[in-house]
Amino acid sequence: MSQVPCYTIINSPDLEVPNEMQLKQDLEKGDTNHKIETLKKVIKLLLNGERYPGLIMTIIRFVLPVQDHTIKKLLLIFWEIVPKTSGDGKLLQEMILVCDAYRKDLQHPNEFLRGSTLRFLCKLKEPELLEPLMPAIRACLDHRHSYVRRNAVLAIFTIYKNFDWLVPDGPELIANFLDTQQDMSCKRNAFLMLLHADQERALNYLASCIDQVHSFGDILQLVIVELIYKVCHANPAERSRFIRCIYNLLNSSSNAVRYESAGTLITLSLAPTAIKAAASCYIELIVKESDNNVKLIVLDRLIAMKENENMEKVMQDLVMDVLRVLAAPDIEVRRKALALAMDLVYSRNIGEMVLVLKKEVAKTHNVEHEDTGKYRQLLVRTLHTCSIKFPDVAATVIPVLVEFLSDTNELAAADVLIFIREAIQKFPALSGLIIEHLIEAFPQIKSSKIHRAAVWILGEYVEGPQIIEVIDAIQQTLGDVPMVEAEQRRLSGDPTEEQSQQQGSATGGVSGDGSSSTTTSTSNAINKVTSDGTYATQSAYSLAPVAKVEKRPPLRQYLMDGDFFIGAALSATLTKLALRYVELQPDSSAQNRLTTRVMLIMSSILHLGKSGFPSKPITNDDTDRIFICLRTLSERTPEAVSVFMHYCREALGKMLDAQHDEDQRVLKEKQRATAKVQPDDPVLFAQLSNGRDNQLGENVTQLTGFSDPVYAEAYVNVNQYDIVLDVLIVNQTNDTLQNCTLELATLGDLKLVERPHPVVLAPHDFCNIKANVKVSSTENGIIFGNIVYDTALNTNVVVLNTIHIDIMDYIIPASCTDTEFRQMWQDFEWENKVTVNTSFTDLHEYLRHLLKSTNMKCLTPEKALSGQCGFMAANMYAKSIFGENALANLSIEKPVDDPDSKVTGHIRIRAKSQGMALSLGDKISSSQKQSVQAA
């Protein structure tokens, strides 16, 4: 039974099993609607494993003669699934009557009945039933309606494939039929049969009409592409004969045909013209197709082409065509297109690519969309990569990117500053241009984090006359100094220096005779329309004064909100600028003037932090940092000066070098992973292996004991979204087991697709039963159940061991930036804290064990983890195939002076769903237990 194919699956909820006599009465005496409902119920019961051999004759007598179309369709399903043979394998006598009924249906005047009956005959596996119907099937090839003719071809194809002796002249019959047909669906089915049954005839037909292929329907064109692919792979000498046909099909009106033709073309030929034509066809499909899934699939084909070195050189000229894909609204499509273009771009077309990216940047301004911020961030990173890879374009990219600093999207602005920091370190010739644009954009920055990073860059790289300009820009965005006095004046209502300057500039053109004040007072009178339609005059003097909220400068506002970290960063920058100015300026009075100005700003920040005006007071850490800056400026000891002047930039250089080394290491690992089998690797034969190397045994779970009457074991085959259980059942008794049924149930986000059919097991016989389980999320699942069987005396049950579905089958390592990790860590609400309990004595060994057992990737660079200091902190990240993110933070330690002490600490896991966090924690706990037991 387990080997019998099933073509129709009807899932139904648990229903009551009715009496067979009741079903017979309903089928005999019920009206048409009642018979339809009863027949549906019988079909569902049969699919759920019930057996009603006595109903066959009742259905033949009382249901088969009914001419209702719904009953006819249900009967086709019934005869497909009902057992047609007796226990000894012989055909049931009743099926002769069924065969006669379907012979009449094949001659019925209604074309739908003929066609559906022919489709049903494709599923029959009993040649005794098909042999009497062959003349009627052949006659359907000449029917007037194309629906009947195309299904007749499929029926002959299936019968010839399974029982060629029933229709020995099948290929010749279909070849003659193909020559006379005009309907594309009939021609497609006929050509498909010749493709699989007689390729020579198919090739002769294609050669006779190869010039008309472009005018054929898409369904026939797809089969022609399949034929050309098979023939040219089997016989490469035929390529020149059919490659022109494939070129013509690249211009087909059907997107499916163009896609298949492009794929076939690059497998048949690696000529530059063929590669360019196929890649251009793929790009056109991406641009014109509206379905995002299709766009992603075709983009993957382009990326696969790029992996071939010969194809990559040809595709480099198509970078501008690839960038046309950016017109798609989906962010994933844009991300893949930009990554592909970045891999293909070279020195000749980098300028054109940068121009396109600039236009894309301009398009994102004033566009409100949920993915606009992500797209801007993507464009910034791409331009960043372009500038580092091709330094010649950096000068044109920098002005575009600096505009992002005033953007409300903090992530995009942060990426711009990361680029500016790297560019100004690697390309000293561009430092003047970068500083100039950064000073211009400095007052428009809207984020404390961005201001803080921009201040650091300015303090580290500004030299010469720009020092005064930077200090002026900082003071402008900081406001009046001392700040406490300015805030007191603001509270008391007295005008600050800024307001006084603004009023002075506004009244600068007023004459001194007082006439302007009169004009102003009279102009403040405005007319109002009352409810009765008359005019009323309202003067400004009669209005109550409205308190006007004055907007503070950006840096002052951060400090008033309690963010004094920006104040500490500002103090360090001002210290660097003052020390550099002292080195450049020989005049001591100018040195002292600038130093006192800078120290006044720092002391003013300290005073403001202690004054109580800000929403939060200044922290002790920020206070200490500002005091260190003040002391450095007053004492100027060589050690402190060298820290501010040299060590910061050296640390940045080392960090950028470490990042570059890490990127090169990852790139080498990818290149090394492509060679899966080396030439000198030994060949493993499963039959000769000792069992330890057999991967099949790792996925086999023993379900019952060796002493149980029924032995069972399951091979668990995990696919992406479903699990296939191949269960071996062995009858270890001397009795025949009737209705031996595998009953399964699931726990977690698992769902059993269908109930396995019962089987009959002879003494010491065995069989394989397959069950499909659908998976909907990344959570640990459990499959449990039992085996029920009948003997001559009673019904018995054998309880099965549980099958645990491992979460690791759905988790893959992934990478993200530190900013994205922190953002996800902040957003995810489910956290699971696991205490480290292990026998490992080395921190690095424990980290490697953890990464191997959880399929996670360590985001912390190796250089940051190198050395032995007694503690370790690392971030880990992974992604599931369902798109779920999993974050983990490892914090472990051990005494340095005791090499035999065990690693202690904890692991914090965060995920968006509770199940993901709990499942990952359970996996870590179980792996720790195994390591402890092994020790």
Q: 610 and 709 share a domain? A: no
Helix axes 431-441, 448-461, angle to 10 degrees: 140
Q: 622 and 485 share a domain? A: yes
140 and 118 Cβ atoms separated by less than 8 Å: yes
Task: Report yes or no on 157 lying in a domain.
Answer: no
Residue 501 is predicted with a pLDDT of: 53
Q: 588 and 658 share a domain? A: no
DSSP string covering 199-220: HHHHHHHHHHTGGGGGGS-HHH
Rounded CA-CA distance 714/703 in Å is: 7
Rounded CA-CA distance 589/188 in Å is: 95
In the chain, the amino acid numbered 189 is N
> Where among 805, 833, 855 does a domain terminate?
805
Rounded CA-CA distance 202/825 in Å is: 61
Task: Report yes or no on 77 lying in a domain.
Answer: no
Q: Residue 113 pLDDT more than 80?
A: yes
Q: 813 and 924 share a domain? A: yes
Q: 821 and 781 share a domain? A: no
Instruction: Say which CATH number the domain at 725 has.
Output: 2.60.40.1480
Q: 425 and 560 share a domain? A: no
Residue with tokens 């000229």: 317
Model confidence pLDDT, tens digit, residues 35-56: 888 888 888 888 776 777 788 8
Rounded CA-CA distance 259/249 in Å is: 10
Q: Which helix (H) or strand (E) holds 871?
A: strand 871-880
556 and 478 Cβ atoms separated by less than 8 Å: yes
Q: 357 and 454 share a domain? A: yes
Beta strands at 750-752 and 795-799: parallel, antiparallel or unpaired: unpaired
Provide the domain limits for residue 368.
Answer: 345-461
Nearest to 453 by CA among 419, 409, 403, 407: 419
Going by pLDDT thresholds of 50, 70 and 90, the confidence category of residue 516 is very low
Rounded CA-CA distance 813/876 in Å is: 9
Task: Report yes or no on 468 lying in a domain.
Answer: no
Rounded CA-CA distance 502/485 in Å is: 19
* CA Rg value for the chain: 40
Q: 779 and 741 share a domain? A: yes
Going by pLDDT thresholds of 50, 70 and 90, the confidence category of residue 7 is very low
- Predicted TM-score of the model (pTM): 0.66
496 and 490 Cβ atoms separated by less than 8 Å: yes
End-to-end CA distance of the chain: 48
Beta strands at 830-835 and 885-893: parallel, antiparallel or unpaired: unpaired
Instruction: Say which CATH number the domain at 885 has.
Output: 3.30.310.10
Residue 625 is predicted with a pLDDT of: 92
Q: 448 and 355 share a domain? A: yes
Q: 484 and 589 share a domain? A: yes
345 and 319 Cβ atoms separated by less than 8 Å: yes
Beta partners for residue 750, in sequence order: 775
Rounded CA-CA distance 502/496 in Å is: 10
Task: Report yes or no on 657 lying in a domain.
Answer: yes
Helix axes 146-162, 184-197, angle to 10 degrees: 10
Higher pLDDT pick, 6 / 241: 241
What is the percent of the chain with per-residue pLDDT over 70, rounded to a whole number?
88
Q: Which two tokens stand for residue 210?
A: 């190869």
Name the domain count of the chain.
Answer: 5
Q: 410 and 445 share a domain? A: yes
> Where among 805, 837, 868 does a domain terminate?
805
Task: Report yes or no on 827 lying in a domain.
Answer: yes
Q: 568 and 602 share a domain? A: yes
> Where among 753, 774, 805 does a domain terminate?
805
Task: Report yes or no on 843 lying in a domain.
Answer: yes
Task: Report yes or no on 687 lying in a domain.
Answer: no
Nearest to 726 by CA among 693, 703, 707: 703
Model confidence pLDDT, tens digit, residues 62-71: 888 888 888 8
Mean predicted confidence (pLDDT) in 294-323: 88
Q: Residue 691 pLDDT more than 60?
A: no
Task: Report yes or no on 735 lying in a domain.
Answer: yes
Q: Residue 560 pLDDT more than 50?
A: yes
Going by pLDDT thresholds of 50, 70 and 90, the confidence category of residue 689 is low
Residue 388 is predicted with a pLDDT of: 84
Residue 13 is predicted with a pLDDT of: 53
Rounded CA-CA distance 701/694 in Å is: 14
Residue 364 is predicted with a pLDDT of: 80
